[in-house]
Amino acid sequence: MRRKISGYQIFLFSLCPVTLVFGHILSYWLNIDADKDGWFNVYFVKRGWFWTSVVGWWCFIRYRGLQQVGSWKKVLLRYVVLTAWWLFFTQSIISGAAPIMDIVFTLTGGRCNFDVFDPNEILQWKLNEKFHDTVNRRQRSLAKLYNVLKDLKDDPTNMVKHALSRIESWVSENKDQLMEGNYTPGQLNEYIDEILHRWRKINSSNICQSLGGQWIGGHDPSGHIFLITLMSMFLLGELQAIGKRAWRALWKDKAVFEELRAHCIKILTLKTLWGIRTRRSPVNNVGDVRDVLRALVKPPLESAREVYYIVTLLVKYVFWNNPVILLVVLVGMWWWSFLITTIVFHTLWEQLSGLICAYIVATLVYLNIN
């Protein structure tokens, strides 16, 4: 007998595909300038599996506990499968072996490129504007490339020395062009590319990035789409198992809102200096001076105490009693990052390949969860 798919599972399995289609349609009308090196991307998305793991497991522990051995073993198995798939697809976990996404990239014609200088400018040396997509990335890559070439002491040829002097000028002085040298920009690009590929096997994007190169030319499955899909599926998939308990706990303790309201009212009704001046004006005796001093010192202290109580209540309510709020907020953040990625980064086919590769495993894991 075929198992009926619930409405929640329809939502679970359709959220990312529908968002991808929606984002692709928006990309025709919106022109968003997103920074790959922004703080949100660096500290949250690229470390997303860590945040997802912490929030997901904390929710399970708070709502299910560790006493139900059968339940947490099933969660652990699902988590291990998803984590292993994430590692094999995006990380070089075996020495010398590229991750699956980089194997796809190189098999479709991609490679690590070192076209640092503009080959079309023969009379004037200029940086290749196509070498990385932002000025900051270009400068960081030049610094890495300079350090790598400097370490190649077994090749003391004039070509290497010339390349070092050229790159050093941009790194140290941030110049956009230099005078003509003994070699053409195209020759120097080819030589840098040849010597680095001969020196080391560059079969992954991480190695390429560490050398200051540019990973271009092949089909690049979107790692962001892959990772965000996997993280969203894990959080929302596990919510199937803890959802009923989570929602009951969320609405059970309504007294906390009354406490918050009481503390907020107390802050707003504290006696202030303004209230004293309207009651007694002008200040002309010792009692008034004491009242003024009391109004200057006491209200801020009482306000700080009330704020402390409010923060404590909120932290307890969200982090301890109802961590499902963290889960929902985190899913919302991943969804927004997913949408921005579909609008700004990668081609549609690269986004689809990242999505499909995540769904291959996530669907098998969560289709029959009970």
Rounded distance between C-alpha atoms, residue 217 and residue 102, angstroms: 12
Rounded distance between C-alpha atoms, residue 302 and residue 272, angstroms: 11
Q: Which of 24, 162, 219, 224 is catalytic?
A: 224
Rounded distance between C-alpha atoms, residue 93 and residue 196, angstroms: 23
Determine if residue 118 is left, alpha or beta; phi over 0 gives left, psi from -120 to 50 gives alpha, anything else beta.
beta
Q: What is the token pair recorded at 123?
A: 């009379």
224 is catalytic: yes
Q: What is the token pair recorded at 76?
A: 């652990």
| Three-state secondary structure call for residue 42 | helix
Which residues 6+ apart lie within 8 Å of 140 measured at CB? Answer: 212
CA dihedral 20, 24, 30, 33 (to 10 degrees): 70
Owner of token pair 């230099």? 178
Q: Which of 108, 128, 110 is nearest to 120 (CA)?
A: 128
Q: Cite the DSSP H helix spans in 152-222.
A: 158-173, 185-199, 205-211
Q: Which of 132, 197, 219, 346 is catalytic?
A: 346
Q: What is the token pair recorded at 19?
A: 């968002």
CA dihedral 211, 213, 214, 215 (to 10 degrees): -50
Rounded distance between C-alpha atoms, residue 58 and residue 348, angstroms: 35
Which residues 6+ apart lie within 8 Å of 110 measured at CB? Answer: 215, 216, 217, 218, 219, 220
219 is catalytic: no
Question: Which residues have a catalytic role annotated?
Answer: 224, 346
